[in-house]
Structure 1
Amino acid sequence: MFTIGAHLSINKGFENIGREALSINANTFQFFPRSPRGGKAKALNPEDIANFEELMSNSNINVILAHAPYVINLASKSEKTRNNAYEIFEDDLKRLSQLPNNLYNFHPGSHVGQGVEKGVELISCSLNKLIDENQKTTILLETMAGKGTEIGRTFEELEMIIEKVELDEKIGVCLDTCHVYDAGYDIKNNLDQVIDEFDNVIGLDRLKAIHLNDSKYGLNSHKDRHEKIGLGELGLDAISNIINHKSFRNLPFYLETPNDVEGYKEEIKLLRGLYKE
């Protein structure tokens, strides 16, 4: 089954976002548990969650993806910034424990001049404190485009974090097609080679989700500028190859393209037409 969705707002509650996803022919969705700029999260409504669980059981939505705020940085030089990131992360995991079948994706962070090894040490230290053996949520490290001092621009950097996490069965990876292409992995012309490299360095069993985005600037640009499907440097043929690749076909895909809900509806229609059942 082709599992495809988009980034939607939960401002009106989970039941409504689930219905909105179904209305655009999506069978999953991504959301921010709070503002992407951080801040306090809105209290969850138990009745809304119960209604959403019923909706899931009566539809083909079987997994959802939460995205951490962009502002959190577990690798920061600043203890205050790290503590703030930790508190948000911890609170998000507590909130997600109330929701069914979910993943939690985050940008690993930026070492801001301390070096990758120090950044990795700080991130993994926090994760070892945050992760509980009883949690059901799988935490996903996102592949990054390599802007500035971002950690996660290479598969090796992500693996450095994973190997330091004690409860590593709770850790996976979300591959962003725009980011990896911008970082220098040629998924347009050498998709099989990139997948083999990912498997050799991290392991395909760690890959739990894909952010499906075209790229405005392209290979090795390190720009992280998403483009609508088929209108960027990756192009429609490459996107089609990605969604139909045997290593990816059973994963959930999430659109983060510069679109509104109607735009996502059109992209999902396009992608379902390209997917080979």
Structure 2
Amino acid sequence: MNVGAHVSISGSRVSSDEETPPFDDIRNAVHRQVAFGGNCGQLFTASPRVWAEPAIDETAAEGFRAETEEQLEGPWVIHSAYLVNLCTPKDDLRAKSVSSLQADLDAADALGVPYVNVHLGAHTGAGVEGGLDNAAGVIDGLEIPDGVQLLIESDAGSGTKLGGEFAHLAGIIERTETDIGICIDTAHTLVAGNNLTTPAAVDETVARFDEEVGLEYLEYIHLNDSKHDVGTHKDEHALIGEGYIGEDGMRAIVNHPDLRDLPFALETPTEDGKGFAWNIAKVKELRES
């Protein structure tokens, strides 16, 4: 089973070049993933809340690739900055979004990471069709390295954000000439209006996704429980099995024949003394042989 967490790269290591100042070291992600019991996972290359491009030392990048190959089984995915908005009608925000996303794609190439994950963003008045057209234009203008795939993540669907409906995901696939994939976030999918609380509900939602989007596009799953119920559009993650999806829904997801072989990355909170290690262990407990 490929399951892991979204881990931090923060923390400095001593550089071999004494003239080089301390920097966040990408290798920290591998060490933390192993410590949590994960064998795949997700990371940011820089702070996701500011316009900051990755600053990855070549030695650290080489070490990251080597340690990943030695210690992990499943694939990494890089999550783009939260500020990136593919759907925006604003030229300045679009330019910043392109620059930030391109930097993460280039970082993925340098690190041997096969996926970069991004939200569609908000159309902010351009309308659904206009927002999807804007996003497709951005995607097709990127220089995506060989061996790296851009994944569009499903959204909770609040306000003018796109990606909450399966039709939005199908719409961006139809519009772009780029070979993109999809990352489904289970908490987002639930609050966007898709029931995942029982085995029957999971079967129905997966079948509908296949009909509207296509399971062949699904590459990664953000496995999160939700603190809010179906259709609330409130994005707040819960511990695995302790939210509205619950143990029955989570068990059905991680054992579903169309989902079980995909990599799962957790973005669960740390609460009541339960962090990533507890959540990963819980997922493994729910997995049936």
- Identify the TM-score tier after normalising by the shorter chain: over 0.9
Alpha carbons 2:155, 2:189 under 8 Å: kept: yes
Say whether residues 1:273 and 2:272 are aligned partners.
no
With normalisation by structure 2, the TM-score equals 0.90
Q: Give runs of aligned pairs for residues 131-210 of structure 1, distance below 5 A.
A: 131-132=143-144, 134-168=145-179, 171-189=180-198, 190-210=201-221
1:253 partner letter = F
Partner of 1:209: helix, strand, or coil? Answer: strand
Residues 218 and 262 of structure 1: CA distance in aligned 2, closer, same or farther (over 3 Å):
closer
Deviation, 1:195, is 0.7
Partner of 1:21: helix, strand, or coil? Answer: helix
Alpha carbons 1:56, 1:62 under 8 Å: kept: no
Q: Give runs of aligned pairs for residues 178-257 of structure 1, distance below 5 A.
A: 178-189=187-198, 190-257=201-268
Q: Give runs of aligned pairs for residues 6-45 of structure 1, distance below 5 A.
A: 6-12=5-11, 13-45=25-57
Say whether residues 1:264 and 2:276 are aligned partners.
yes
2:10 partner letter = N
**1:83 aligned partner:** 95
2:195 partner letter = D
Q: Distance in 2 between matches of 1:60 and 1:89?
A: 25
Q: Distance in 2 between matches of 1:157 and 1:58?
A: 38
Residues 192 and 117 of structure 1: CA distance in aligned 2, closer, same or farther (over 3 Å):
same
Q: Distance in 2 between matches of 1:262 and 1:20?
A: 16
1:117 partner letter = E
Deviation, 1:42, is 4.0
In the alignment, structure 2 segments of 5+ residues that lack a partner are 12-24
Q: Which moved more, 1:259-268 or 1:106-115?
A: 259-268
Q: CA RMSD in A?
A: 1.6
Alpha carbons 2:197, 2:245 under 8 Å: kept: yes
Q: Distance in 2 between matches of 1:183 and 1:193?
A: 15
Q: Distance in 1 between matches of 2:8 and 2:75?
A: 16
**2:3 aligned partner:** 4
Partner of 1:130: helix, strand, or coil? Answer: coil
**1:121 aligned partner:** 133
Say whether residues 1:46 and 2:58 are aligned partners.
yes
Alpha carbons 2:44, 2:78 under 8 Å: kept: yes
**1:65 aligned partner:** 77
Q: Distance in 1 between matches of 2:278 and 2:138?
A: 40
Q: Distance in 1 between matches of 2:124 and 2:28?
A: 40
Partner of 2:158: helix, strand, or coil? Answer: coil
- Following TM superposition, where does structure 1 have runs of at least 4 consecutive aligned residues deviating by more than 6 angstroms? none
In the alignment, structure 1 segments of 5+ residues that lack a partner are none
Q: Distance in 1 between matches of 2:54 and 2:119?
A: 22
Alpha carbons 1:145, 1:180 under 8 Å: kept: yes
Q: Distance in 2 between matches of 1:215 and 1:138?
A: 27
Deviation, 1:262, is 6.3
Partner of 1:119: helix, strand, or coil? Answer: helix
